[in-house]
Structure formats: structure tokens, C-alpha cells
A and B are shown apart, each in its own frame.
Chain A
């Protein structure tokens, strides 16, 4: 690493049109030949900051300097011209094209009218040899492993002359072997004078490969540190540190029977990667079991299996004696007392073109008390809707308002009103307060605790460390598809310790984790 600063972002503030502040006075300074970590939790504003640099988003105020000269980046194309390349979390590759085709797309070498495939292949070979990337230029991208696909993405940037390379959570999708291979290549790039911005929240990796780290929390710049000067624990504290302490008063736990049990669950995703690996746990009546973890560590796939949305998995899920996979339809699960606040509000949680009322009754439209003979009982439905709108404080003047007209928080209240107001044995609450205002979040937390006091089992999935610690009775931590830790009680658990498990710094033994299944 030289001390030559190539890129500087100064006091970048980004406010979205809806008033959300993604970055506030964020700073970043990248030197030549360095690997610079950009650290932060989900929603800390890392990706937004990098999208600004790459010209996808535009900042409200601040300044960007490249080699000391101020620049304006208004589109990715300009960023590429300035020598900035970005590898997105979701690969921008066409699966049905070959490696060469993907890389040279838009800058095709020509011979007469034809695309000069021979030259194109040579170009790809040349650049991949220069940086020691082993990919077969003639293979279809769909036949490549995830690790190789990532290499293609990096090559795409390098062949266009990128000197500064932004990698958005590059290891999230990789196996350990692929990760160490990637690190070797990043070292090679560094030696050849490239600068790399490494977005991550995996501290061990950052410690292993990065030279310096810039930490962000909730959109706010926390400082830049030499990796040698700080410990993993310091970084963890900077990333996670607690802002609002709000303790929820909870009655003593009154545990009942096991409601939901998961045994040896394994899920393989479309890319052929094992995303849930041998997960075991049980949830009891009157218990809030939290699942903590950084997003993308298998929680989504796990919940899909439990709630009947995904039926191809290995292992066993049983709900109150219901365990035959054939019977695991969403309808059947709901009839057997499972309610579900889904992670993706707009896709699963609501039908945005339908009215609030139609959204509220979607899980009980066929119940006897809402129907009179073959007709819907309009009076009963109206009464129910108005009651729930009032009880859950949905801000609207009519039950007939289309849901898409509501704010995120009010939409989530509609979801909560639906999912928390029928008799149930278990509630699956998946990121129940993501992206909504503090007031609504507190309201939903109180409701969850209320249900638990009534003897309902609750499985709470959240990437928000405050939320899981405030609301849960017991806690599981998921890391890379596995259960990394189990805490029977969270009374003595500190944020720092939890953070270390979430970020993969620590891991419990099989023995200790076994407690989750009892």
C-alpha cells in the first residue's frame, strides 16, 4: 500500500425523495494498491455509498475526488470510463451466454461484419492470465459455479480498465475454498496497483485481507482505521453499538408443549449451493424464539420450508403432529394454527392493488362467521375490517383504500392486523419491523409479546440485533446456513457477544447448540 490517495468521497449525504436518509456526511478515502473494507450492518448505507460512486444513485451533497480532481459520475458508463468497476451482489450476467460473450458485450472486437470471436477469446484469455483468473472462456455462464461467475464479473470490470474495484459482499455467496481463492486473486490485483473497496460485515475476512477499514452505522460515518491497529472486537462494537435502549416488560415465561419442531433440515438453492445445513430446533408454547443473523445466512429458505411456500427440502418439519410433507400446504398449515408475517411485504405480505379490507380477510375469507350461506357476510367483514384498522392504528379514512396508497409502516400494520388477530398456535414473524418507523415497530413488538403471554409460540426472524434482543426469550444465531449459537436465556447475553456469533467470529460446539431442540 502506498500513501497515494486515488479516490476520495467527502461529506456525502444522500436523502431519498421519500425522506429516508441513507448516508449522512459519509467519508471514504482509498489509496493506491490497497484493499479497503467498507464495514457496516444491513442498512448501514454501505451499498448506497458505493452506488453513488458507481453512478447508479446520485448524492444530495458532498464531493468526490479522483486522483485529486473533482468528478461527477452520473451513470455506470461514466464510472467505467473513469476506471471504476463494480461487482454487484447479484451478478449481472446472462446465463445463456458464454464467458467470453458476457465479458466483451458492448465492446465487441470486429472482423468485417462479424464479431471476431477468436480475438475476443484471446482478449479474455489475456486478461485472465494477467490476473491469474482461471476461467474457461468458452463455457456457458450457466454451467459455472458461483465462484467462477464472480470471477467473470471481476474480469468484466478489469477488461474495461478498472483501477478501482468495488466488491459488494463478494464472499456472501462463496464456499470457504472459493473465498480463499478470491483472496489470493485480490492480493494479486493489489500488487498490480489496483485499489479494492471490499464491502462486508464478516470481520474475520476483513481482518485477514484488508489494509484499512471504514465503518458505517445507520448511514453515519464512524471512522477509518488501520486494520493492524484495531481488534475484531473493536470493529464489532463500532458497527453494532446500541442506540436506543427500549426494554419491553415481559411477564415470566410460561412454557408449554412443543409446537414446531425442525429436524435435520437441509435446503439446496437453485444455484446448487447448500443454504440451510442440518438445522435443528424447537419452539414451545409461550416462547419467543429469535433467529438472529445477518441476512442471507439461510433464514429465508428456512422460513419458506416451515411455512409451506417451499416443499423441496431434506429433513423433517413438524407442526403439532402435522409432519407429512404432502399435508404441508399453506392452507393446511394455516388451518393448523400457523400465522406468518412474511419477510417480503410487497410480494407476499399484501396485494397492493386490493383494498385494505380484501387484504385483511385473505386468511379467513372462508370462515363461517364471515359468510352467510353462499354469500360473504358484508356486515361482518366491514365490522371486522373497521375494528382491526382501529385496533392496529392503520392510518386511512376507509377500509376500501387500496393498500398501495399506504406508507410502508401502515402496510405492515395491515399485515400485522391480519396475521395477529386470528387464533393461532404459532406466529412466524419474519423481519416484522424492517423498513418501518419506530412507533409502528414498538407497537408490533408489544403485540408479539402479548401473544406470547397468551401461550402462542413465536418464531422471530430478524437481522436487527436490537429487535431480537428486546423481544426474544431464547435465541438462535444462524451463520452460513448453520446454527452458530443457541442461548436458552438472553439475560446475560451482551450485544458484543451476539455480534461475534452473527459475524462468524465465534461458534458454539454441537453440544451447546443441542439445547435448541429440547
Chain B
């Protein structure tokens, strides 16, 4: 069948990895925040403003790396803002995140227009992109070489940072503390861990990843900022982290699964399929997988209780 031929094309897998990258960054942002005990629903907005900041800084300084830095700083700022309102102002974190997302949407267009006179994209700004990387030795490996070689540098950063985050979260003292303040802050407090400080650190890391995700959107995935370019990835990431059980490596794979659907949509456009339906695919897939993983978590305790009751009856 014609449809299956796309899976044989290394180009499909190449772009799968590419479209998974922002979801991996955002997924890491979602999981580290959740591990510190705060739901970061503002990733979407952080990525949007991050993407814009990246373009603006890379144009202004004519240096893509400073663009990346700007995006990361913006991401961290927004995440710390969320944490501050949650921890100090006792605000509902969801409502604050909604406000931050609305702000990001409006402010990004506002700033874009001020700089370019255009509200839809930043093509007027002569911004740079981050380099792609090729490894000569990979060229010798058929298919796989074509899939993983020559990607944008941030693609490799995304995959490597998954492992770094995994190490950080599970193998370092700070990682343990972050997990403990998100798991049971009384336990952390009872041994003298500073709960708020630790949560701020967790959220700052979350913001950093959101910023990286945003930077990739405009300095790698595309070479400019366009309105609405994040397209719900910040929320899909929350689903991805949920499906991945809030652990970096499984979340990386679930992000790739979401990336697969995203990419499938892009590739199906060449067939005579109605585009609008193709565009729906990643969002439908998100709802289904999110519902499924949430259901498993919701019934975890019930299943445990049933097991105990059953064993009691057997006695």
C-alpha cells in the first residue's frame, strides 16, 4: 500500500525525530515541575514567549546562541513567576497559568508587531538559526545514519538532556530533594529540607526546558517566529509526561509517540486526505492516551484495595 511506503522512507523518521524534539523539551519541563509538586500549565506560554525571545535576541545580537540564552531566561522567569504566585500568593496554580498563557499569546504578538509591523510572523527580522550537526561516521550506517545525522544541534541536546535529567532526578541529592518536596513535603520538612527553595529550583529547571523547547521552535524547527507556532505542544507535553509516568526516559518515548502522530499528520498531507482531519490527529491521540494513562493512575489505589480484600476473603 501506498501509505506504508512513507514508513520505509528515512525522511519520515528523520522528521519524526525533529518533530519530537519540542515535545521532549516540553515533556521534561512538565515532569520536573510535577515532580516538585506544582503543575506547570504555563509551558505553552513559556514556549511561545521563549520562541519569540530567541528570534529577537538572535536577530538583535546576530548570534543564535544568545537567542537560545534569551529563550531560556524567559522560560525560567515565567516558571518562577508561577511558583511565586502559587507558594507566596496562595493563588490557584491553574488560574495563574491560564493568565500567563493569555499574557504570552498577546504579548508575543504585541512585541512582534512593534518590531516588524507584522502580526503573523517574524520574516522581517533577519534572525539566525542554530547549526545542524553531522557526524561523518554516521554516514556509513545505512538508514539509521540518514535518520539521525544532520539534525539541528538542539535535537541532540533534547535527547541527551533526557538522560541528564534522569541522572539529576534519580542520582543526585538535589534530585532526591525535588522528588521529596513533590511527594510529601511534610516528610521533607521533618528532616530540614527547605521546601519552598527546592520547589523554586524545580520550577526554574522546568522553565529552562520550556525555554529550550521554545528556542527550538524558532531557531531550529523553523527559522522564524510565527503566530500560534507552539500549537498546544505545551499541553500535549503534560499528557506526554503523564503517559511517561513522570520519568524522563519513558517520557522521551511517549513524546516521540506524540511526535509520531504529529509527523504522520504532516506526511499524510501528500495523499488525498482532507488536511483538516489530518491536523486533528495529534490532538485526538493526545486525548486518548492522556485519558488512558490517567485512568491507570486513578484506579491504582482501587486495584490495590481490591487485591487486599480478595486475599482477606481467601483467608
Q: Which residues of A contact B (CB under 8 A)?
A: 76-77, 80, 88, 92-97, 101-102, 105-108, 110, 113-115, 117, 156, 160, 266, 268, 270, 272, 274, 312, 314
Decide if B192 touches A106 in the complex (CB within 8 Å).
Answer: yes
A274: chain B residues at CB < 8 Å are 312
Decide if B188 touches A94 in the complex (CB within 8 Å).
Answer: yes
Q: Among the listed A94, A108, A312, which residue makes an inter-chain contact with B183, where contact means beta carbons less than 8 Å apart?
A: A94
* CB proximity of A289 to chain B, nearest CB, Å: 28
Decide if A113 touches B172 in the complex (CB within 8 Å).
Answer: yes
* CB proximity of B108 to chain A, nearest CB, Å: 36
Q: Among the listed A95, A105, A312, which residue makes an inter-chain contact with B176, where contact means beta carbons less than 8 Å apart?
A: A105
A105: chain B residues at CB < 8 Å are 176-177, 180, 187-188, 191, 193
B304: chain A residues at CB < 8 Å are 272
Tell me whether A114 and B191 are in contact in the complex, defined as CB-CB below 8 angstroms, given that A270-B305, A314-B309 are known contacts. Answer: no
Complex CA gap A114/B171 in Å reads: 6
Q: Among the listed B171, B180, B301, which residue makes an inter-chain contact with A117, where contact means beta carbons less than 8 Å apart?
A: B171
Given contacts A94-B180, A94-B184, A268-B312, 15 further A-B contacts (CB under 8 A): A76-B189, A76-B190, A94-B179, A94-B187, A97-B176, A106-B191, A108-B173, A108-B176, A114-B172, A115-B175, A156-B191, A272-B308, A274-B312, A312-B305, A314-B312
Does residue B186 face the partner (Cβ distance < 8 Å to A)? yes
Q: Which of B186, B187, B301, B312 has the most CB of A within 10 A?
A: B187
Q: Among the listed B183, B192, B193, which residue makes an inter-chain contact with A97, where contact means beta carbons less than 8 Å apart?
A: B183
In the A-B complex, list the 6 residue pairs whose CB atoms are closest, starting with the nearest.
Answer: A108-B173, A94-B183, A106-B191, A92-B190, A94-B184, A77-B192
Complex CA gap A314/B311 in Å reads: 13
B190: chain A residues at CB < 8 Å are 76, 88, 92, 156
Q: Which residues of B contact A (CB under 8 A)?
A: 167, 171-173, 175-177, 179-180, 183-184, 186-193, 301, 304-305, 308-309, 312-313
Decide if A115 touches B184 in the complex (CB within 8 Å).
Answer: no
Q: From B185, which residue of chain A is reached at the shortest CB distance?
A: A94
Q: From B183, which residue of chain A is reached at the shortest CB distance?
A: A94
Q: From A313, which residue of chain B is reached at the shortest CB distance?
A: B309
Tell me whether A312 and B193 are in contact in the complex, defined as CB-CB below 8 angstroms, given that A96-B183, A105-B187 are known contacts. Answer: no
Complex CA gap A389/B177 in Å reads: 51
Complex CA gap A96/B189 in Å reads: 16
Q: Which of B171, B179, B180, B191 has the most CB of A within 10 A?
A: B191
B192: chain A residues at CB < 8 Å are 76-77, 80, 106
* CB proximity of A266 to chain B, nearest CB, Å: 8
A117: chain B residues at CB < 8 Å are 171
Q: 24 interchain pairs (CB within 8 A)?
A: A76-B192, A80-B191, A92-B186, A93-B184, A95-B184, A105-B177, A105-B180, A105-B191, A106-B177, A106-B188, A106-B193, A114-B167, A114-B171, A115-B175, A115-B176, A266-B312, A268-B305, A268-B308, A268-B309, A270-B301, A272-B308, A314-B309, A314-B312, A314-B313
Q: Among the listed B173, B177, B179, which residue makes an inter-chain contact with A110, where contact means beta carbons less than 8 Å apart?
A: B173
B172: chain A residues at CB < 8 Å are 113-115
A97: chain B residues at CB < 8 Å are 176, 179-180, 183
Q: Among the listed A76, A80, A92, A312, which residue makes an inter-chain contact with B187, where contact means beta carbons less than 8 Å apart?
A: A92
Decide if B309 touches A312 in the complex (CB within 8 Å).
Answer: yes
* CB proximity of B153 to chain A, nearest CB, Å: 24
Q: From A54, which residue of chain B is reached at the shortest CB distance?
A: B190
